[in-house]
Amino acid sequence: MNSTANNIAGKVVVITGASSGLGEATARRLSAHGAVVALGARRIDRLQALEKALTAAGGKALALATDVTRVDDVKRLVDSAVTAFGRIDVMINNAGLMPQSFLDGLKIDEWDRMIDVNIKGVLYGIAAALPHMKQQKSGHFINVSSVAGHKVRPGGTVYSATKHAVRVISEGLRQEVKAHNIRTTVISPGAVDTELPNTITDPVIAAGMRKFYDDMAIPADSFARAVVFAMSQPEDVDVNEILFRPTRQEF
């Protein structure tokens, strides 16, 4: 294990959206570094398979079916981690979806879904973890935004709006939790190879995005390594923002 493992072993980390992509890769990498991981998502079969694999490799993990659009689910996930492992050190608000479309397609259900998962899910994660962290006088929120949280392009308006919101929420949170010794990091990835493009139902945008990802997406572990970087800093160092892209990605 390399030196970046410092300050990770033994930490209790709750991850939403841990059933695939960035969340799963992060659970695997943090567990390999000795963190205890509590895994939330809706596909419990995938979470249980991951829990089994991590446990078989000597790690500690807990899987709980969680829909982040339900505040009670998110609270149960966090409370279960605290009950099982005694505390929560890191809350990774990662669950999200990206059904991009042009506004005149009027895919209002998808707009609602993105707002519910990508914005309200993050707020529910904060609501669930903040009371514990305040009481502990320590903790770390890692919220997942996107390059789309920095830029907007046709077809990506609502998704970008949700990811801009994640950055604003993270910055407000950062300022508000200083007094409680809590760290906040927002990570904004570019194209990373996950199931995310599969949520696009507009055939034209889906085809364009598929080509874009096929051309340049980098492995999900790139995100996990960014998480390791932020977590492994000494406790008095608060890495607030990480923005990364595939080297080939221009926009």
Ligand X SMILES: NC(=O)c1ccc[n+]([C@@H]2O[C@H](COP(=O)([O-])OP(=O)(O)OC[C@H]3O[C@@H](n4cnc5c(N)ncnc54)[C@H](OP(=O)(O)O)[C@@H]3O)[C@@H](O)[C@H]2O)c1
- Active-site positions read 159
Shortest spacing between CB 146 and ligand X, in angstroms: 3
Identify which of residues 22 and 90 has a Cβ nearer to ligand X in the complex. Answer: 22
Contact 245, 147 (CB under 8 A): yes
Token pair in block for residue 146? 């996107």
Q: Which CB, 41 or 91, lies closer to ligand X?
A: 41
Asked if 97 interacts with ligand X (CB under 6 A), we say yes
Binder of ligand X out of 13, 126, 142, 192 (CB under 6 A): 192
Among 26, 31, 185, 194, binds ligand X (CB under 6 A): 194
Q: Which of 59, 96, 139, 246 binds ligand X (CB under 6 A)?
A: 96
Residue 32: burial class (beta carbons within 10 Å; 0-12, 13-18, 19+): middle
Which listed range, 53-61, 124-132, 171-179, 188-196, lies at the site for ligand X (CB under 6 A)?
A: 188-196
DSSP 72-115: HHHHHHHHHHHHHHS---EEEE---------GGG--HHHHHHHI
Q: Is 144 in the site for ligand X (CB under 6 A)?
A: yes
Q: Which amino acid does the sequence have at 160?
A: S
Residues with Cβ within 8 Å of residue 129, at least 6 apart in sequence: 14, 78, 88, 91, 139, 141
List the x/- string, 115-134, binding to ligand X by CB under 6 A: --x-----------------
